[in-house]
Amino acid sequence: MVGAGHNGLTAAAYLARAGLRTLVLERRGIIGGCCVTEEIAPGVRASTTSYIASMLRPEVIRDLDLGRHGLRMTACSPSVQVPLAGRGMVRWWSDPYRTARELERHSARDARAFVRLDRELQRLARTLQPFFLEPPPDIGRRGPAGLLELLRVGRRFRGLGGDDVAAMIGFLSGSLGEYLDRHFESEAARSLLLANSVYGKHGGPYQPGSLLGLLFHLLSGGEDDVQGYFGHVHGGMGAITTALADAGRAYGAEIRVDSPVQRILVAKGRAAGVGLEDGTEVAAPLVMANGDPKRTFLGLVPPDELPPAFREAVAAIKMDGPCAKVNLVLSEEPHVEGMPHDAAPGERALFTLVPSAQLAEEGYDCAKRGEIPDLDRLWVDCVVASAVDPTLAPPGLHVMTCFVQFVPYRLREGDWDRRRDELGDLTVRKVESVAPNVAGSVVARQVLTPLDLERTYGLTEGNIFHGDLRLDQLFVMRPVPGWARYRTPIAGLYLCGAGAHPGGGVTGAPGYNAAHQALRDRVRRRTPARRASRR
């Protein structure tokens, strides 16, 4: 296993559970990839990259008994919360009627529209849900096998009428901004829905495909398989990967840190193991890569072992990550304007500073030009994790993480090493616009630019999804057409990270699917890996 990100650890645990001798090799000194908890000041820990568990697959939690290995989550309540510039808050609750009552203060029409939307999203999300934990169809198969593939996919849509099919296509390909303009009249409703889009995705809210975020966020997650689940992880996001690692070790997997893989070994067209940077070679008939497609196929695999057309397709994957993180240690909890004075810890733990749809579109335009958006166009999602989990910081200190979009990977002027503090200052000023006490309470600050995400966490071009989530890079097109079922042109080499179906987010689904695909192949082919596991 190349890489100990959460998908790699998921795959490793399933492979070890099936009886394979499994070795995980991690480049960094800690496991977790982008699902980590790290110390950012003495005694203060933060989820430095990913920060909320929204679609972690219930099957993975239950199969690997992650609760027994220490995983504990508290549902975000509300899941989304937007300050309205002196007009209080608007919040997205798990109960759609409670959310509608909040929207009714701004528009009775919008309250009714929200209930209809929520009902429609839940129904369509239930249809999409099964696709998360199964490989995409093999569109290259012909004859009876090809027909069976079509039937497998088709049965998932049983019960959907023509209106549902049209709605599904609309949500997968439509523009969020245009949808909001058509169906909602109040800025409160528009801001709330805009704040629940796909973070880290290319494209402003008026771009085609931006509507799919509403659908994705109604997929289920958490141990109880709740639709639209968002969870605070006790101990930070690293508690997920710690639990996955402990589960894998319980099944016999070995995990080594500080073991950067330099190349994937290939012999006669088959994976033969890996070579480490220190010169060590590890022989293995099965290799799974948790890195993104570009890092894996353009960096670790010898060029002459892959078809030129395949390498060209991988090189063309849209990356160019559009986001950053600013993690803050504060001497006092943010006093957010509009927050109820009796707000519970879960309510105080998150808020999103989202511009209007038009300003957000302009912010993305700035990023496309290599510019950092100005204060009015900056989008910042804030989580005060210590409000829910005080163990993250000593008494008197608080942890707030800020996810920032849209920002460019490639700057038109200067470089990120020189402009890092500029982004940090701008983010703090944005937060200060709704929480005036924050700027004066910053004790420590960590700014992770798109370049830092690449250099430190191994995300090519800083893309948190290992390739942008857009229609031409999803499902049968992920990572590239013809290779959407975790296998690669090299027999015995599988892709198990977010660059494979169904994509990014802390779901565990790519790792689950890749492991099961490899195990099915092992049964069919009677590979050496199977014989070794019997001895």
How far lies 300's CA from each of 146, 287, 467, 518, in Å? Answer: 33, 12, 17, 20
The matching CATH number, chosen from 3.40.50.300, 3.50.50.60, 1.20.58.340, 3.90.1150.10, for 6-38+59-72+234-317+463-534 is: 3.50.50.60
Looking at the predicted structure, is the pLDDT value of residue 147 above 90? no
Higher pLDDT, 224 or 266: 266
State the Cα angle at 30 between 515 and 27, rounded to 5°. 70
Quick check: 177 and 206 in contact, CB under 8 A?
yes
How far lies 194's CA from each of 82, 167, 206, in Å? Answer: 10, 19, 11
Looking at the predicted structure, is the pLDDT value of residue 153 above 90? no
Query: How do residues 469-524 score in pLDDT, each as one tens digit?
Result: 988 999 999 999 999 999 999 999 999 999 999 999 999 999 999 999 999 999 88
Looking at the predicted structure, is the pLDDT value of residue 534 above 80? no
Quick check: 1 and 290 in contact, CB under 8 A?
yes
Dist CA 361 CA 522 (whole Å):
48
Query: How do residues 73-109 score in pLDDT, each as one tens digit?
Result: 999 999 999 999 878 899 999 999 999 999 999 999 9
Dist CA 431 CA 439 (whole Å):
8
Dist CA 535 CA 533 (whole Å):
6
Read off the pLDDT band of 533 (50, 70, 90).
very low
Residue for token digits 């989580």? 383
Residue type, 496: C
Looking at the predicted structure, is the pLDDT value of residue 531 above 80? no
Where b means 16+ CB within 10 Å and e means fewer, 453-464 reads bbeebbbbbbbb
Higher pLDDT, 425 or 225: 425
Cβ atoms within 10 Å of 270's Cβ, excluding its own: 17
pLDDT value, residue 162 = 76
How confident is the prediction for the chain on average, in pLDDT?
A: 93
Structure tokens at 175: 């523009």
Domain ranges of the chain: 6-38+59-72+234-317+463-534, 91-224, 323-457
Dist CA 230 CA 195 (whole Å):
14
Looking at the predicted structure, is the pLDDT value of residue 535 above 60? no
pLDDT value, residue 20 = 98
At residue 428, the 3 state secondary structure works out as helix
What percentage of the chain has pLDDT greater than the value 70? 96
pLDDT value, residue 526 = 67
pLDDT value, residue 530 = 41
Closest by CA to 515, choosing from 12, 2, 135, is 12
